[in-house]
Structure 1
Amino acid sequence: MKKLFILLALFALSACATSPTGRSQLMLVSPEQAISSSREAYVQTLLPLQKEGKVDSSPTTSKRIKLITGRIIAQAVQRYPHTRNWEWTVKVIDDPETVNAWCMAGGKMAIYTGLINKLQATDDEIAQVMGHEISHALANHTAERMSMALATQLGLSGVAIAAGDSVYKGAILSGSSLAAATAVTLPNSRTSETEADQMGIELAARAGYDPRAAVTLWQKMAKVGGNSPPQFLSTHPSPANRQQRLGVLAEQMMVYYRDTSTRPVYQLQ
């Protein structure tokens, strides 16, 4: 048993990576594996909604979201050239009660009409949402969360194997189901959220969207749920000082927002 846990610890120590902000990350699952699994999970997530006619049901809304997102992706690709070959995609899910958005590894995104309409979100505020979500993908947060889940599974399986419990010997979650769970439902750590805040607000500002909208977005988000926080907040832990920190970041990013250079747009299909 002792040898098993030593091996698991050595495995974890040998699987470290560095995020775009210089933070050390546990990477038992490679970014490439996360992208492959997310591609499958994305299809599985959207297929039943497409059958119900709930994906991109409003051409006007879809066009608006693709334009905003395309401008942010263009900035992401400039700063992180390896993402040029990602299969960037964004879909609008027609669900008026769900205030949420997400981005899987490899740039597979979705935003719900509940977030757009319930918040009466401006283009600048939507840009903050999409910039934040894109930053989770850029920083390999899906792979990181998958790795944490896998480490837990390895630990549980190791205990089961040592105990001779055959039921759990093969109980490692499949890549696609794990990707779907970690990308859409499981909360990010506060460290990951801070990282995505920092990266996302800069991407949105460079794309020509007012960084001060990050503060108004979270103010709206906090109000819309009342006693029942919107899903977006349940998967995005929000410490009390988050709005204050975003306000400081917004002032720092104004120089990018005020830049008069032409803003390129990544053409989403």
Structure 2
Amino acid sequence: MKKLFVTCLLVVVLAACATSPTGRRQLMLVSPDQAIASSRAAYTQQMQAFDEKGLIKAEGEIVERVNRITGRVVAQAIAQYPNTADWDWSIEVIDDPETVNAWAMAGGRMAIYTGLIEQTDATDDEIAQVIGHEIAHALAHHTAERMSVVMASQMGVLAAGIATGDQRVMTGAAAAALLAINLPNSRAAEVEADRIGIELAARAGYDPDAAASLWRKMAEAGGAGPPEFLSTHPSPGNRQETLARLADQMMPYYEAPGERPVYPIRPGDY
């Protein structure tokens, strides 16, 4: 029975594979729809906490600027991935000048902190690279992938406990899951988000050369310690060189004539 159980777990894990937009194989024990539902609850909880502290900027020049840039990039995301047209696309500006961070949850709900814009003195082109990168994480189902890592950790520890009969190993499943939840994005996911994000921003009319300058500024921000953004977005060693090469490939999208549509960005529902 122990061997059968372990074998069944391995079959489930092997069967739960999917392919990302760039062709990368992903572990997908959690479906994108499940990740969106879970993210909606997490987003509400997080935003309510910010709201109680008065940290959500509801109006002002910076909000209008972020909404305009985000609307252009989201319009391109929907054009390239029509299945996201019914996502809850929204973004909040968090008034925290000390925090250099931004994130997007499954389903298109995002946040950017004033510290990222102010400490890097970000241009519109650079903000678009941040937004494109975060949207790319959502498009590539990286939230579902990370949640699947949690489940795989739980299943793996449970299997080890059953196989060895060690109760201490089995009761460690919850601790292992907690660690997995807090894991940063994988480098593979970062490379993928860079590739998708820079294209979305270029299609939206933002200079792809800004991607490399943004990451250079990000690396310089934070003083003695790295900014929070880099702790959850680990940087491949050659990121700036790779982004520079990608920028050359994306120039035709950036230089294409015509107006860029703007998706009507609204505040998040929480």
* TM-score using structure 1 length: 0.91
Distance 1:43 1:15 in 2: 29
Distance 2:68 2:7 in 1: 50
Aligned to 1:268: 265
| 156-165 vs 42-51, which moves further | 156-165
Q: How does 1:1-269 map to 2 (within 5 A)?
A: 1-161=2-162, 163=165, 165=167, 182=181, 186-269=183-266
Superposition deviation, residue 158 in structure 1:
3.1
Could you report, residue by residue, the CA deviation over 1:41-80 in whole angstroms, capped at 9, with x for unpaired residues? Answer: 0001111110111112542211111110110000000110
The alignment yields a C-alpha RMSD, in angstroms, of 2.1
Stretches of structure 2 that go unaligned for 5 or more consecutive residues are none
> SS of the residue aligned with 1:85?
coil
- 1:35 and 1:105 in contact (8 A); partners too: yes
> SS of the residue aligned with 2:237?
coil
Distance 2:138 2:200 in 1: 13
AA aligned to 1:197 is D
Distance 1:49 1:186 in 2: 23
Stretches of structure 1 that go unaligned for 5 or more consecutive residues are none
AA aligned to 1:119 is T
> SS of the residue aligned with 1:128?
helix
Q: Provide the aligned length of Structure 1 versus Structure 2.
A: 262
- 1:161 and 1:169 in contact (8 A); partners too: no
Give aligned-pair identity as a percent. 59
> SS of the residue aligned with 1:90?
strand
| 223-232 vs 133-142, which moves further | 223-232
Could you report, residue by residue, the CA deviation over 1:186-242 in whole angstroms, capped at 9, with x for unpaired residues? Answer: 311111101100000000000000000001101111111243110111111112211
- 2:157 and 2:172 in contact (8 A); partners too: no
